[in-house]
Every structure is written in C-alpha cells, then in structure tokens.
Amino acid sequence: MRETPTHPKIIALVPAAGIGARAAIPGKSSLPKQYQVLAGQPMLRHAVSALLTDTRVAEVRVVVAEHDTIVAQALAGLPRTVWRPYGGDTRAHTVLNGLADAALSPGDWVLVHDAARPGLPREALGRLIDACLAADEGGLLALPVADTMKRQTPPTGEARSGRMRIHETVDRNGLWLAQTPQMFRAGQLASALKEALARELEQGLVITDEASAMEAAGFSPLLVHGSGRNVKVTWPEDFAWVESWL
C-alpha cells in the first residue's frame, strides 16, 4: 500500500462470492442469492446502487467468485463500479482478497457491505460515514436487540429444525445486531483480517464480520444506529418481504 495522502478516499467493497446456501430451497437448484431478482433488479445491483447514493463513495469494488459469469450483466451501466473474480473460501478471505487488489493507501476508508443487504437507506449510510469521519475511528451500522433473547439447548445444532429447547434467557441489555456497511481504515482492516484468519486456524477464533477481526486486534469499533430496512436476505422467505418494500 502507498503512503497515506492528506485526503484519504472512501471506497466500498462488496463481497459477493457466497453461494447463499441458507436461502436456497432444498431440492431446487437456483442462482446464488445475490443474483436473485427483486423488484426488477438483481439483489447485488440494489446493494451497489445503495452505496452509490453517497457521493463521498469514490468507487464500489465488487468481489465475486472466480468463475462468475453473471456479474457483468447484473452491474452493467452502473457508474464508479468495478468487479473482480477474487472470491475466497469465506467472507473474510473474499474481503481480504478485495483489499489486496485495490490500489489503496493504508489511511483510505473502506466500507464493506454485504451483497445480501439490498435495502440500505441513504440516511443510514450517511450516518455511518459522518460518525466515522467525525470520530476518526472505524465503526459499523447495528441495531439494539429489541426482542427477548433465548439461548438454545443443545448448544449447537440446526436452529430451524424445530428440535431445540430453551436453555436460558439472555439479558439483551447492551446487545446489538451487527449490520453492514462496516467502515474501517484499509491498512488496519487488512492487518486485522490477516491476523484473525491465522488465529481462526490456530485458536478457533470466529470472524463473521470485519468488526470481529478489528475487535480481536484490540480496536473497539463505533456502533452507529442502522436501519430495520437494512436486513440481510438469509432464508428463502426473506426474498418476498424484502422485495415488498424495495
């Protein structure tokens, strides 16, 4: 990476190399969920378009699976948008590959956003950028937990199988649900992800988002109020209700 210039730029990076296993209907072959059409457009196009609504975002870089043949059509004509076939085995690998490929200075900001969150409102994106720039610290969109929280027994297992029982009620006070975008300095994020991936192998550290890698590296990312519309399409039934208000 180059030296940090006086005015760091802000780019967005969209990991879009997943297969959407949980969103697939058993026994039916389907496109990865990011290419499913919602309100006339592929979900990925909605997610990228949402990022482009803030003119401070200089570029959106989409990282897709190596043999992806759909992305060019899905994103055709969008300004300030490029895509690369460097998807990895996990989301963290995909993000790290995307960072390595981008010509970024360590001090540039990167907004990592799921392809599977097509409903990001412009105001929520703006809130995150404003908060991180003002504090000069990384952060993420998130929502305080609104429901009563239960922990299941047995502790591992398919939560949707219907064979789980309650082990205990968990105090929701102070708990948040992490969303994306998650905004960090490029240099710090790349180092944190590399370190976290090494520890994942050696110590079983779990990294499901960029913030978990940053936390493991000793940072305490800002929690910025997200939006109920910024949900992640995860299960088959999510497509219909997310589409209904896109």
Ligand X SMILES: C[C@](O)(CO)[C@H](O)COP(=O)(O)O
Binding site for ligand X (CB under 6 A): 91, 114, 178-180, 208-209, 232
> Shortest Cβ distance from residue 205 to ligand X (Å)?
14
Tokens describing residue 202:
């050696």
**Whose Cβ is closer to ligand X: residue 44's or residue 107's?**
44
The span from the CA of 49 to the CA of 98, in Å, is 19
| Binding characters for ligand CTP, 24-43, by CB under 6 A (x = yes) | ----------x---------
> Shortest Cβ distance from residue 6 to ligand CTP (Å)?
32
**What does 186 interact with, of ligand CTP, ligand X, none (CB < 5 to 8 A by kind)?**
none
> Shortest Cβ distance from residue 184 to ligand X (Å)?
13
10 Å Cβ neighbour count for 66? 9
Q: Which residues contact 86 (CB under 8 A, 6 or more apart)?
A: 63, 66, 94, 97, 98, 100, 101
In whole angstroms, how far apart are CA 84 and each of 46, 73, 133? 18, 14, 28
Amino acid present at 167: H
Instruction: Find the DSSP H helices in the chain.
Output: 43-52, 71-75, 91-101, 122-135, 186-203, 210-216, 238-244
> Shortest Cβ distance from residue 71 to ligand CTP (Å)?
11
Q: Which residues contact 71 (CB under 8 A, 6 or more apart)?
A: 16, 44, 62, 64, 83
> Shortest Cβ distance from residue 235 to ligand CTP (Å)?
9
**What does 153 interact with, of ligand X, ligand CTP, none (CB < 5 to 8 A by kind)?**
none
- Judged by CB under 6 A, which stretch of 16-24, 103-111, 140-148, 165-173 contacts ligand CTP? 16-24
**What does 42 interact with, of ligand X, ligand CTP, none (CB < 5 to 8 A by kind)?**
none
> Shortest Cβ distance from residue 2 to ligand CTP (Å)?
26
Per the DSSP assignment, residues forming a β-bridge with 15 are: 63
User: Counting contacts by CB under 6 A, is residue 209 touching ligand CTP?
Assistant: no
The span from the CA of 113 to the CA of 120, in Å, is 9
User: Counting contacts by CB under 6 A, is residue 182 touching ligand CTP?
Assistant: no
User: Counting contacts by CB under 6 A, is residue 234 touching ligand CTP?
Assistant: yes
Side-chain half-sphere of 176: how many Cα atoms within 13 Å?
Answer: 15
**What does 81 interact with, of ligand X, ligand CTP, none (CB < 5 to 8 A by kind)?**
none
| Binding characters for ligand CTP, 83-122, by CB under 6 A (x = yes) | ----xxxxx--x-------------------xxx------
The span from the CA of 72 to the CA of 102, in Å, is 19
User: Counting contacts by CB under 6 A, is residue 17 touching ligand CTP?
Assistant: yes
* Residue appearing with tokens 């300004």: 79
Interface contacts to ligand CTP, rule CB under 6 A:
15-23, 34, 87-91, 94, 114-116, 232, 234
